[in-house]
């Protein structure tokens, strides 16, 4: 008996086997959940396809959140394969590297719009497109980072985008509560992934966490998977509009 027997989860944001979304997918699958996956583009399809086969996904479909027609395509894929589903995992973000490296006041309007569109608006767009396909008791979750709350070196415009994502999750939670749908965020500590490689100074942060975090180590995608499993399952049936930290406790420590 698995915690998610009979449930169906749509997971967005696998780029390769290091991705947080892959850790989440494996955790959900291990508890009996059926899985549907998306990939960003043809270049990433080659990496995601073998993972999709490994997990026995019900479908794998292209989804670039900047493309309006992809939302309709995703909705149709969900309808054709599942009818209704139960869990939506948003594990994607993007910002121009130049906007992460430079001084914050030099952020371009185009870079700001793109980071917020891909990393934050997409949660609203996906919810709008898929809400009617979600069963009562469903759970939506999005991946965020503490750079939304405090200034973290090299995070810049992505910190603003994550603040928008977290606020969007709260408004969605308030809006969808009457439909029996919960919306939460997981704020993960840094993990070595493709997306993280674009954040300058990350090596230094891993060392600081080993030294200063209560757990004296960095976290793994398996641990984020465990947090996601809690949010996906009925164990968290009373939890919505929250940001849950999975970060070895580093965000609780003061700096002086
Ligand atoms: O330290 C970290 N790795 C942390 C990541 C700490 C805390 C939070 N996060 C967040 C990220 O901001 C993101 O929201 O977790 C989420 C997943 O990130 P990840 O697992 O670290 O990164 P990665 O394996 O690169 O997956 C993110 C994927 C993209 O990969 P690339 O690297 O090719 O950008 O997001 C997807 C893409 O697959 N993505 C998109 N998907 C749909 N439409 C788009 C798009 N336009 N752009 C990027």
> What's the CA gap between 46 and 119, in Å, rounded?
23
Is-catalytic flag, 171? no
Is-catalytic flag, 145? yes
- How much is the pLDDT for 196? 87
Atom of ligand 1 nearest to the CA of 118: 46
pTM given for the model:
0.98
Name the band, by pLDDT with cuts 50, 70 and 90, for residue 195: confident
Q: Which residues make Cβ contacts (< 8 Å) with residue 219, sequence separation at least 6?
A: 188, 189, 191, 246, 247, 248
Mean pLDDT over 81-107 rounds to 96
With beta carbons less than 8 A apart as the criterion, state whether 230 and 197 touch: no
**Mutate which of 195, 202, 204 to test ligand 1's pocket (most atoms within 8 Å of Cβ)?**
195
Name the band, by pLDDT with cuts 50, 70 and 90, for residue 59: very high
**Mutate which of 141, 193, 213, 221 to test ligand 1's pocket (most atoms within 8 Å of Cβ)?**
193
Q: Which residue has the higher pLDDT, 201 or 243?
A: 243
CA of 19 from ligand 1 middle (Å) equals 7
Atom of ligand 1 nearest to the CA of 90: 14
List the end-to-end C-alpha distance of the chain, in Å, as a whole number.
48
**Ligand 1 cavity residues, CB under 6 Å:** 13, 15, 18-21, 40, 44, 63-66, 91-94, 118, 143-145, 188, 190-191, 193-196
User: 82: how many CB neighbours lie within 10 A of its CB?
Assistant: 16
Would you say residue 197 has pLDDT above 90? no
Half-sphere exposure of 7 (CA within 13 A, CB side): 28
- Between CA 224 and CA 172, with CA 57 as vertex, the angle to 5 degrees is 50
CA of 91 from ligand 1 middle (Å) equals 6
Would you say residue 256 has pLDDT above 80? no
Reduced to 3 states (helix: H, G, I; strand: E, B; else coil), residue 90 is strand
Looking at ligand 1, which residue's alpha carbon is closest to its atom 13?
A: 92
3-state helix, strand, coil in the chain (%, to 5): 50, 15, 30
Name the band, by pLDDT with cuts 50, 70 and 90, for residue 118: very high
Question: What domains appear along the chain, each with residue ranges and CATH number?
Answer: 8-248 (3.40.50.720)
Sheet with 134-144, side-by-side order of all strands? 59-62, 34-39, 8-12, 85-90, 134-144, 182-188, 243-246
């Amino acid at each position: 008996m698995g915690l998610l027997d009979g449930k169906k989860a749509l997971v967005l944001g696998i780029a390769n086997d290091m991705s947080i979304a892959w850790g989440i997918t494996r955790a959900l699958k291990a508890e009996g959940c059926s899985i549907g996956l998306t990939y960003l583009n043809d270049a990433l399809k080659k990496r995601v396809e073998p993972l999709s086969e490994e997990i026995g996904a019900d479908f794998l479909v292209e989804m670039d959140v900047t493309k309006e027609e992809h939302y309709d395509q995703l909705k149709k894929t969900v309808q054709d394969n599942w009818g209704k589903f139960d869990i939506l995992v948003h594990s994607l973000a993007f910002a121009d590297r130049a906007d992460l490296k430079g001084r914050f006041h030099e952020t371009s309007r185009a870079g700001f719009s793109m980071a917020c569109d891909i990393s934050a608006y997409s949660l609203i767009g996906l919810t709008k497109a898929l809400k009617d396909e979600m069963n009562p008791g469903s759970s939506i979750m999005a991946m965020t980072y503490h750079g939304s709350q405090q200034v973290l070196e090299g995070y810049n415009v992505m910190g603003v985008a994550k603040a928008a994502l977290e606020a969007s999750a709260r408004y969605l939670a308030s809006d969808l509560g009457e439909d029996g749908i919960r919306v939460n965020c997981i704020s993960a500590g840094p993990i070595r992934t493709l997306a993280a490689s674009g954040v300058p100074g990350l090596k230094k942060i891993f060392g600081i966490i080993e030294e200063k975090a209560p757990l004296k180590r960095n976290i793994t995608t398996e641990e984020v998977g465990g947090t996601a499993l809690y949010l996906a399952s009925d164990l968290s049936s009373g939890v919505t509009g929250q940001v849950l930290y999975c970060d070895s406790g580093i965000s609780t420590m003061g700096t002086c």
